Amino acid sequence: MASGSDDEDLQRAIDMSLAQERPAQCSDAVDRADSSYDEDLRRAIAMSMDEINPGQTSGDRKASPTSSIIRGEEFSSSEGYASKTSSTSLAQLAQRTPGSPPLSGLLGLDRRAMEQERLARLGKRKRSTSPQHAIKMSTVASSSKTTTGEPLRSFHTTNHLRHSSQPQSTGIQYPNGVIKRTWAHKHPRSSNDITISEVFQAPTAAPNIAVLSSFQCDDRWVFSRLPPESTKQIWIMSAKGEDVQAKLLAEATDCRIPNFKLHFPPMEGNVSNMHSKLMLLFHDTYLRVVVPTANMIKTDWGETNADANGEAWQAGVMENSMFLIDLPRRHDGQVGKKEELTAFGKELLDFLEALKVGKNVTDGVLKFDFSASKNVEFVHSIPGRQTAQFSDHTGLPGLANAVRRLGLHDLRILELDYAASSLGAIKPAFLSQLYTSASGQTSQSPSSSEDFMSHIRIYFPTLSTVKESTGGPNCGGIITLARSFYEAPTFPKQCMRDYKSTRSGLLSHNKLLFARGRKKDGTPVAWCYVGSANLSEAAWGSRSLLKNGSWGKMNIRNWECGVIVPVPAGVLGKLELKDGEVPSMSVFEGTVEVPFVYPGEEYGRKVPWYYREHMPPE
C-alpha cells in the first residue's frame, strides 16, 4: 500500500492533470534522470485509468496506453481562438511525475469539444473528426495580434505569400552559425535574441519542409506559427511502446492534419526519453539547422497570454538558447556522400540514422553544403541498444572526440560552468567523467585532477530565486531536482550556484556548458555547448568502474543533441593572462551571451528549488 506521501503525490498529479492552466504557468515534461522515477511513472499510468474508467476497482484496473485524460484550457480570443480543450495523451502523462504542471496539447485535440462548438454554430447534429476548422480559426487574419505583436495570418494568406511570383531573397542569415537566446516579452530586444517566427522565417520565407524534434509540443501554437498547409512537417516525438505509438498515430490520422507526419525513434529497453531538440528547416536554396534548448511551447519562446485586446499583459517567464546555421544547397544539386561531410555533418547524419527518420530526410540533408560547419561540432546521445554501435562517439565519448577534433584538448587546467534546468542524482564519479570528457580525454581512466570538483560550478535556481521570478512558483515545474538527490551525501553541493538571469525575473530552461582552460603549452581555449542535455547520467551516459579497473559499457537513457561552438582563436590570442590563469567568462562576448550572473552566488544556507515540494497547490 502506498504511503501517505505517495497518496499526496498521487492526488496532486490527478488534480494537476485535470486543472485549468494558470496564465503564468509554464509547462514542460520532466527530464527523468534517475530510475527512482519509474514508480512515479507506474502510478501516473494507473491514476490516469481512475479518470477514464472510474467504475473499475483497483484490482480490475489495467494501464491501457491508449487512454487519455481530457482537460480544459481557456485562452483569450486575441490568440486566434476563443477556447480550446486539449487531450493529454498517456504518452505525455507517462513521462511525467507527480507535481508536474499541466501540459499543453500534443496532437490530442479534443474533437468532441470542437464538434460541440461546431454544432452550436451550425445547429446540426452531425459528427466530424477533422480539427482543420479549429486550426484555421487559430490563424485567421484579423485585427488581433499574437503576443509577439505580429498580426495573425490565415493559411490562405500564407499560401499566397509562399507561392507568389515575386522574387525571394536567398534567406541565408547565419552562414557560419550563431548562438542566440530566445526573445522574452517586455524585455528589451537585442541583436542576440530571436523569436520563433524569426527562426521559422514565417510567413514570407517559411520552409518547404520542417523536421521538428522536441520533448514537448503545443500543436496549436506550432501550427499558428508554421501552418502545415504551407509547410510539410515531420515531428519526431517520444512514445515508448507500440501501443502508445499506435494510439498517437491514430489520433494524428483522425485529425486529418495536412502535410503532417509523426515519427517515433527507437525506445526499447531502458530508454527513458526522446529529449532532443532539433529543427531541420528545408528551403529551396538552403537548409537551416537549429539546435535549441527550448521545447515547442510558447513559454519557452518568451511568449505569454494576452488580454481581450490582444495585448500581452505579462512579461516573459522563461529563457532558452539555440544554435542556428544556414547551409546552402550543393551547386550540383545532387545528393552528396556522407564521407564527404564535415564532422558536424557526419554526426548529424549518424543521429538522424539512429533516430530512423528515413532515407528521404537523410538524403535531403545530403543535398546541402556543410563546408561552413567545419569549425563547430554536433554532439549527440544515442540511448539503448543503439549505444553500442555508436559507443565511441556518442554521449561523453562523443563530447571528448568533438573537443579533440576542434583542437581544444591537451589541457593543463579547465574550468566548467554548467547551467541546467534539471539535475539528476549527480555523484563525483559522474562529474569526473564529465570533466575528463570536456578535457578531450578519450581514455577510460577517470579525471587525473584530484580536486576537479573545485573547477566545476553548477547553476540551478534556489527556492527564493524561483519565488521572486516573474512567473513565480507556477513556472517551477519546468525546473527539476528531487530533495532525495540533493540531500544524498554524494551530491556535490559545493559546486552549486544560484542561477539568476541577466534579464531580471526570467527563469531558465537553458542547458549550457561553458569551458575555459589553458593547454600545456599555455595556449588559452574556450568553448560553449548548447543543446538539450541536462546534467544527468541519463542525458550524457555513464560507465561503471569494474573490479578489474576497466570501465563497463556506456549506459545512456535519453536521446539528446547539442552543438559545441569554440571562441575564435583570434579573440583568445589577444588575451593577456598570467601563468595559471584561464580566460574569464567575458571571453564569450561575441560568441555567446552568457545569460546568467556569474560566478554565481554560492548556496550557503539557501535551498534549491524542489519542484515536487514547492509547486503551489491547485
Query: Taking Cα atoms as reference points, which of 346, 493, 348 lies closest to residue 431?
Result: 493
Q: Please measure the distance between the N-terminal and C-terminal CA atoms of the chain and give it in whole angstroms.
A: 25
Distances (CA, A) of 456 to 295, 321, 399, 513, 559: 27, 21, 17, 10, 24
Q: Which stretch of DSSP H or E encloses residue 466?
A: helix 463-467
Contact criterion met (CB below 8 Å) for 43 and 10: yes
Query: Would you say the C-alpha torsion 28, 351, 182, 321 has a positive or negative sign?
Result: positive
Largest CA distance in the chain: 81
Q: What is the DSSP letter of 353?
A: H
Q: How far apart are CA 199 and CA 212, in angstroms?
A: 12
For residue 614, indicate whether it is catalytic: no
Query: Does 277 carry a binding-site annotation?
Result: yes
Residues 6+ apart with CB under 8 A from 608: 460, 461, 462, 463, 481, 486, 496
Query: Does 511 carry a binding-site annotation?
Result: yes
Q: Could you say which of 275, 283, 380, 614 is catalytic? A: 275
Sheet (strand 321-328) strand order: 193-194, 178-182, 321-328, 286-292, 278-282, 209-213, 232-236, 260-263
Q: Which stretch of DSSP H or E encloses residue 85?
A: strand 83-89
Which stretches does DSSP call E strand in 442-557? 456-459, 496-497, 507-508, 512-519, 524-531
> From the centroid of its chain, how far is CA 533?
8
Q: Which stretch of DSSP H or E encloses residue 250?
A: helix 242-255
For residue 509, indicate whether it is catalytic: yes
Distances (CA, A) of 385 to 127, 202, 270, 382, 528: 44, 39, 9, 9, 29
Cell of residue 435, nine digits = 570533466
Q: What is the residue whose three cell numbers read 564527404? A: 340
Question: Torsions phi, psi of 422, nearest 5?
Answer: -150, 135
Q: How far apart are CA 572 and CA 523, in angstroms?
A: 8
Q: Could you say which of 185, 263, 509, 614 is catalytic? A: 509
Q: Residues forming the annotated binding site?
A: 277, 511
The residues assigned a catalytic role are 275, 509
Q: Residues forming the annotated binding site for substrate?
A: 277, 511
